[in-house]
Amino acid sequence: MLLAYLPILIWILLCAGLALAIVFLSHVLGRKRPTGAKLSPYECGITPVGDARSRFPIKFYIIAVVFLVFDIEAAFLYPWAVIYKKLALVGLLEMAVFMAVLLVGYLYLWKKRVFDWED
């Protein structure tokens, strides 16, 4: 049975081999004339300034997390809507429970003033 996958294995090996070979060849054959600009992390953009690990307001983190939660809610609603008829009353109730739980979270966030961007 595993024999059926043999072509795929060969294909993977070929791809990997080709990629490695190109990098290797360019390393061996290519001419190297390093300059300061070429050695900088981003050769094609603005000159980097300062540390990449700078602090920025925690609000961004919170927004990201909150987005995740409500995005999942939306994603969950789609398939539910599609088979809504089949689920009938129980399905409605279950989704109501789900929404209610998220509503509690929403209220919590609201009162904690997560949505007030300006303090």
Partner 1 sequence: MNEYALGQGLWEMGFAAAVPFTLVALSAMAVLLADLWLLPSQKRALPWAALAGVLLSAASVAFLWNEEATGFGGAIRLDRFSAFFAMVFLLGTGLVVLLSSAYARREGVERGEYYALLLFGTSGAMLMASAVELVTFFLGLEILSVSLYVLSGFFRQRPASAEAAAKYFILGAFASAFLLYGIALFYGASGSTTYAALRESFGSAAFPYSHGLLALAASGLLLIGLAFKLGAVPFHMWVPDTYEGAPTTITAYMSVVSKAAAAAAFIRVFGASLSSLQQDTSAVLWVLAVVTMTLGNVVAIAQTNIKRMLAYSSIAHAGYLLVALTAAGEAGYSSVLFYVLAYVFMTLGAFGVVSLVRKGEGGADAGAEALDISHYSGLAGRHGLLAAAMAVFMVSLSGIPPTAGFFAKFYVFSAAVRAGEVGLAIIGVLNSLVSVYFYMRIVFLMYMKEETVPVRGSRSRAGWVALAACVLGTLLLGVLPSSFARLATESIASIF
Which residues contribute to the site for partner 1 (CB under 8 A)? 89-90, 101, 104, 107-108, 111-112
> Is 102:73 a contact under the CB 8 Å cutoff?
yes
- Whichever of 15 and 103 has its CB closer to partner 1, that residue is 103
Nearer to partner 1, 44 or 89 (CB): 89
Smallest gap, in angstroms, from Cβ of residue 88 to partner 1? 9
In whole angstroms, how close is the CB of 70 to partner 1 at the nearest point?
A: 17
DSSP the chain: -GGGGHHHHHHHHHHHHHHHHHHHHHHHHS-----HHHHSS-TTSPPP-S-S-----THHHHHHHHHHHHHHHHHHHHHHHHTHHHHHHHHHHHHHHHHHHHHHHHHHHHHTTSS----
Closer residue to partner 1 (CB): 31 or 113: 113
User: In angstroms, what is the minimal distance from the CB of 113 to partner 1?
Assistant: 10
Q: Min. distance of Cβ 110 from partner 1 in angstroms? A: 9
59/112 with CB nearer partner 1: 112
